[in-house]
């Protein structure tokens, strides 16, 4: 029989997360305090994050030990399987070998619990009673809600209004886990009230929801803030994905020529690729690494590499990243997890260093690829993951055209069970592609903070 | 670290299904031709099923080899994990050890692909072009749709109207896999038109949908029929669940004192329990085996053990089973997969032999148990599986009351990702318990076929 699945035993869950920063040829730009424009200190961040996570955010250590209790929870779904997509390869008639790491096996259905669990754990250790966060499509909110339930923390989620209204099922999952969920912009925060005063019909954005959650955390000493992507410590936690994949590719007896992941804030892409890029920096292997983003929110392919705020109300520190401008509200395409104006500073830095590539794909192409994948492999990807699938499809068809065998590895970061309305709309011909929103982006970029480069 | 998860390597996927029939102290009653009232012959069944499955239906062999191509597809999610529910045990403060076999890891999210895949495969071998089937909540329909996509068969699904309207997400999954889905009763069949003429507002039932699918298969030589539960060969295919669990309990160093499964048609319950009951019949181990059914559709606890039709329009053979009468339409509770008037003949026979027990639980108790389980274990069960969880909860609390350690094993047959409307309604206080529908059942039982016992 041909091998479909590469499984690691439980004791091969990584014992440490991999921090790519010390391996980089040039250090990333520092995070700046929004008032002083000076590098932030740990004390600046303490109202928002526990010291355990702040230390990781700035760490120069290449390996950071995973706490035992976190590994114990990880063991419920980790090591996640690595699949060879043999049926899809056959359907495509491609000489490429396609492998995917499948993170939909977590109870919340995506890679997000990889960081939700340690974030909840470190907060619990330092006495946090409640975590506040934002969520777009709901993958992150449901993952944090679950992690909070495991460790006995309260959880408050600001859910982007358009998703809150259109995706009641993700909200129901968060509520089943015991979280309190509000649509954002809400009347519960100054940030939310400000947005609603200016735009009473606002459908929200991740940038706005972040402002609300940060504000709640900053004002209540028992509440801290939790972010599902973008930050260094979040990307760090996701490296369990790539560390496992390294071993699993070894089991398969192959090494990737191309690594593909979708990018919204950057966490699933980084989780898979950083361990491979780290090896590349050490002279081991030389895969191309391709980030796939939505054409309607193209921070990496059309954004500017500049200091910007992580949120719309400008409550966060300034980070240097590829950004479309913090006031840019992406159009309402279905991959809600990719509707973010910026990109993780580390991912941005890697693009700037030429260590990764980026492409943008249109919504209809992403769904067409996802449906073909589902019919071959059984797993229906989340709309976010469809972008990665579409990127892989391009690579696989190019390999076929060129008649060249090629090993492609991608991160299937979540299933689409909670996103079926998107598939209903796609099937009914109601989804569309989006023009590049050039004017809105130009306007938002004109508002970038001045005087910092 | 405490062990949470027991995984078997890929080469421990069972090589044969276990057929309990030859181990039984008394043979089950024969299936009768609805016209002649004589035992059916293989030729009688050939318009509906391929010979490979008909042979299994009547087999006296204890072990039936699983075809290589079926095992190859199984390997995508099998062996499925066995979990120890340590966090739930702790939350319940029970001395019981609770184990669950988790079948939600299949791409369709339930145990149903265990039989959908071999059914599609045997049909493909014998030249079937299309499969027709029924589905309630959609677990079965989506599983068969996926299996048909894998083997290049067309798939036609009659979906119980109430679910078709209320659960568009399962329908969307079937359509993503390429199936054609119609609400049942439909105008596409004589059975459907007959029902609609008498009851224009009919919300449908599994019994009606079965009639429609059987009719379509009987009339088209290129179409065969496929059933997701009840029949011997379906229960047979599910025994991979219990065979794996036997090995995994051995890894855990325990043997179940109690085995629990929910029952609608009986397939997930049988899949887990038959291998253990087989051992019991051979003098190995003596677990209690508890079937948990919904109080609103209580075939095992309130039905009659009698010959009845499997469908409403009386197109199927007569089978001896616990039944509420083939014209009984269960009330619209959310566990659509349990809304069947009858029970698998083999499960019925085992109850008659005293080899299993049965209890009924109310809808609100089942959801309360499911939500508590989700907060502890992360996995949100399907409404059907909540019945098993509620049954386990009783056993675990009884163990606590009695101060007795006890090993409980149950089948968590699917996740609830496609059933979130049920959780929304539960959370909003909109779900209710159901009175035992005594009059409707009495009426339906009065219509049982006469002259056969």
Say yes or no: A154 contacts chain B, CB-CB below 8 A. Answer: no
Q: What DSSP string describes A167-235?
A: -HHHHHHHHHTT-EEEEES-SSSHHHHHHHHH-TT----HHHHHHHHHHHHHH-TTEEE--SSSSHHHH
Burial of A69 (0-12, 13-18, 19+ CB in 10 A): middle
- Whether B176 and A83 lie within 8 Å, measured CB to CB: no
Q: For the beta carbon of residue A21, count every other beta carbon within 10 angstroms.
A: 18
Paired sense of beta strands A357-361 and B16-18, if any? unpaired
Residue B94, pLDDT score: 98
pLDDT for res A451 = 83
- Nearest CB to A374: which of B109, B176, B415? B176
> What is the per-residue pLDDT across B342-379, written as a single tens digit (0 to 9) for each?
999 999 999 999 999 999 999 999 999 999 999 999 99
Q: What is the mean pLDDT of chain A?
A: 96
Residue B1, pLDDT above cutoff 70: no
DSSP E strands, B282-422: 288-294, 304-309, 318-323, 357-361, 407-412
Instruction: Select from B83, B374, B421 the Cβ nearest to the Cβ of A176.
Output: B374
Q: CA-CA distance, B126 to B59, in Å (whole number)?
A: 19
**Phi then psi dihedrals of residue A327, to 5 deg:** -95, 0
Tell which A residues from 357 to 396 touch B, by Cβ distance under 8 Å. 371, 374-380
Host domain of residue A98 = 4-10+67-109+233-445
- Tell me the CATH number at B326: 3.40.50.1100
Cα torsion A118, A122, A128, A132 to 10°: value is -30
CA of residue B420 relative to chain centroid, distance: 20
**Inter-chain contact A380–B105, Cβ cutoff 8 Å?**
no
User: Domains in chain A: how many in total?
Assistant: 1
Backbone angles phi, psi at A88, to 5 degrees: -70, -40
Residue partners of B403: CB distance under 8 A and separation at least 6:
B95
pLDDT given at position B431:
94
Q: What is the pLDDT of residue A1?
A: 65
Q: Within a domain: residue A160?
A: no
Determine, for residues A7 and B7 on separate chains, whether the beta-carbon distance falls below 8 Å.
yes
Give the helix, strand, coil percentages of chain A, each rounded to 5.
45, 15, 40
Give me the pLDDT at residue B10, please. 86
DSSP B31: P
Q: Is B317 contained in some domain?
A: yes
Min Cα separation A366/chain B (Å): 14
* Exposure class string for A276-313: b at 16+ Cβ within 10 A, else e: bbbbbeeeeeebebbbbbbbbbbbbbbbbbbbbbbbbb
Burial class (CB in 10 A: 0-12, 13-18, 19+), A130: middle
Q: How far is the alpha carbon of A109 from chain B, nearest alpha carbon, in Å?
A: 9
Residues contacting B32, CB < 8 A, separation 6+: B38, B39, B40, B307, B317, B318, B319, B452
Percent of chain B with pLDDT over 90: 92
Q: Using the predicted structure, report yes or no on whether residue B447 has a pLDDT greater than 90.
A: yes
How close does chain A come to B73, measured CA to CA in Å? Answer: 9
Residue B151 located in a structural domain: no
State how far the Cα of A226 lies from the Cα of A214, in Å rounded to an integer: 8
Task: Write the pLDDT tens digit of every residue in A117-149.
Answer: 999 999 999 999 999 999 988 999 999 999 999
CA A206 to chain centre: 12
Gap between the Cα atoms of B144 and B367, Å rounded: 27
- Tens digits of residue pLDDT in B97-121: 999 999 999 999 999 999 999 999 9
Query: Is residue A33 within 8 Å of residue A310, measured between CB atoms?
Result: no
Check residue A12 and give its pLDDT.
94
Q: Do B420 and A168 touch (CB under 8 A)?
A: yes
The terminus-to-terminus CA distance of chain A in angstroms comes to 56
Q: How confident is the model at residue B436 (pLDDT cuts 50, 70, 90)?
A: confident
Contact B307, B342 (CB under 8 A): no
The pLDDT confidence band at residue A286, using thresholds 50, 70 and 90, is very high
Q: Are B330 and B161 in contact (CB under 8 A)?
A: no
Exposed/middle/buried for B12, CB within 10 Å: 0-12, 13-18, 19+? middle
CA–CA distance, B220 with B74 (Å, rounded to integer): 30
**ipTM of the shown complex:** 0.94
Torsion of CA B16, B18, B22, B24, to 10 degrees: 170
Q: A204-218 pLDDT, tens per residue? A: 989 999 999 999 999
Q: Is B149 on the interface with A (CB under 8 A)?
A: yes
Q: What confidence score (pLDDT) does residue B336 get?
A: 85
Polymer length in residues for chain A: 453
Classify residue A71 by burial, with Cβ atoms within 10 Å: 0-12, 13-18, 19+.
buried
| A251 in B contact zone (CB under 8 Å) | no
The verdict on residue A179 lying in a domain is: no
- Asked if A177 reaches chain B (Cβ–Cβ under 8 Å), the answer is yes
**pLDDT value of position B167:** 84
Q: Determine contact: B6 vs chain A, CB below 8 A.
A: no
Is pLDDT above 90 for B329?
no
Mean pLDDT, to the nearest integer, of A105-127? Answer: 97
State pLDDT tens for residues A423-433: 999 999 999 99
**Chain B environment of A371 (Cβ under 8 Å):** 176
What end-to-end distance do the CA atoms of chain B give, in Å?
56
What pLDDT, on a 0 to 100 scale, did the predictor assign at position B166? 82
Q: Do A378 and B146 touch (CB under 8 A)?
A: yes
Distance from CA of A201 to the nearest CA of B (A): 25
Q: What is the DSSP string of A333-393?
A: -S-GGG--SS--HHHHHHHHTTS-EEEEE-HHHHHHHHHHHHHHHS--B-HHHHHHHHHHH
Q: What is d(CA B215, CA B209) in angstroms, rounded to the nearest whole number? A: 10
What's the whole-number mean pLDDT along residues A67-92? 96
Region B44-73: mean pLDDT is: 97
Q: Using CB atoms, pick whichever of B175, B375, B380 lies closest to residue A427.
A: B175
Arithmetic mean of pLDDT, B109-134: 98
What residues contact residue B268 under an 8 Å CB cut-off, 6+ apart? Answer: B103, B110, B111, B238, B241, B261, B262, B384, B411, B413
Least confident of A112-116, A217-221, B4-8, B354-358: B4-8
**A137 domain-assigned:** no
Inside any domain, residue A200: no
Task: Express each pLDDT in A352-407 by its tens digit.
Answer: 999 999 999 999 999 999 999 999 999 999 999 999 999 999 999 999 999 999 99
Q: Nearest 5°: phi and psi at B357?
A: -115, 165
Task: Report if residue B270 sits inside a domain.
Answer: yes
Report if residue B99 sits inside a domain: yes
Per the DSSP assignment, residues forming a β-bridge with A155 are A131
Number of CB atoms found within 10 A of residue B187's CB? 9
B182 DSSP β-pair partners: B158
Which of A1, A19, A4, A26 lies closest to A377 in space, CA to CA? A4
Residues 76-135 of B with CB under 8 A from A: 76, 83, 87, 105-109, 113
Distances, alpha carbon A9 to alpha carbons A5, A241, A263, A301, B7, in Å: 13, 14, 29, 39, 8
Query: Which of A11, A137, A176, A179 has the highest number of chain B CBs within 10 A, making it the mutation to test binding with B?
Result: A176
């Amino acid at each position: 029989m041909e091998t479909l699945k590469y499984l690691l035993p439980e004791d091969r869950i990584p014992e440490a997360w991999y921090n790519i920063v010390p391996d980089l040829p040039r250090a990333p730009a520092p995070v700046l305090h929004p008032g002083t424009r000076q590098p932030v200190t740990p004390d600046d961040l303490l109202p928002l994050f526990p010291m355990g996570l702040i230390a990781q955010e700035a760490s120069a250590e290449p390996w950071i030990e995973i706490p035992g209790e976190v590994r114990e929870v990880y063991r419920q779904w980790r090591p996640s399987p690595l699949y060879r997509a043999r049926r899809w390869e056959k359907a495509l008639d491609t000489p490429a070998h396609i492998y995917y790491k499948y993170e939909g096996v977590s109870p919340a259905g995506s890679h997000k619990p990889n960081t939700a669990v340690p974030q909840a754990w470190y907060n619990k250790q330092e006495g946090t009673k409640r975590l506040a966060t934002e969520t777009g499509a709901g993958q992150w909110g449901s993952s944090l809600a679950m992690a909070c339930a495991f460790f006995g923390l309260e959880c408050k989620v600001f859910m982007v209004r358009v998703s809150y209204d259109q995706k009641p099922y993700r909200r129901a999952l968060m509520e089943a886990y015991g979280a309190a969920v509000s649509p954002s912009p809400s009347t519960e925060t100054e940030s939310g009230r400000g947005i609603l005063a200016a735009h009473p019909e606002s459908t929200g954005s991740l940038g706005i929801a972040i402002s609300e959650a940060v504000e709640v955390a900053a004002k209540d000493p028992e509440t801290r803030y939790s972010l599902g992507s973008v930050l260094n410590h979040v990307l760090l936690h996701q490296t369990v994905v790539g560390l496992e994949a390294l071993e699993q590719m070894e089991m398969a007896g192959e090494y990737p020529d191309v690594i593909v992941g979708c990018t919204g804030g950057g966490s699933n892409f980084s989780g898979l690729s950083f361990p491979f890029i780290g090896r590349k920096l050490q002279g081991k292997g030389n895969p191309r690494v391709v980030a796939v983003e939505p054409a309607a929110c193209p921070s990496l392919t059309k954004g500017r590499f500049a200091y910007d705020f992580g949120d719309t109300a400008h409550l966060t520190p300034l980070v240097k990243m590829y950004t479309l401008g913090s006031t840019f509200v992406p159009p309402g395409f279905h991959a809600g997890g990719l509707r973010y104006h910026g990109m993780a500073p580390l991912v941005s830095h890697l693009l700037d260093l030429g260590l990764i590539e980026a492409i943008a794909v249109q919504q209809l192409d992403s769904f067409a690829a996802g449906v073909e994948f589902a019919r071959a492999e059984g797993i229906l990807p989340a709309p976010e993951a469809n972008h990665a699938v579409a990127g892989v499809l391009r690579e696989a068809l190019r390999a076929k055209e060129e008649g060249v065998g090629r090993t492609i590895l991608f991160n299937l970061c979540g299933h689409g069970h909670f996103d079926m309305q998107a598939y209903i709309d796609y099937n009914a011909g109601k989804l569309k592609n989006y023009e590049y929103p050039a004017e809105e982006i130009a306007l938002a970029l004109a508002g970038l903070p001045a005087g910092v480069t």
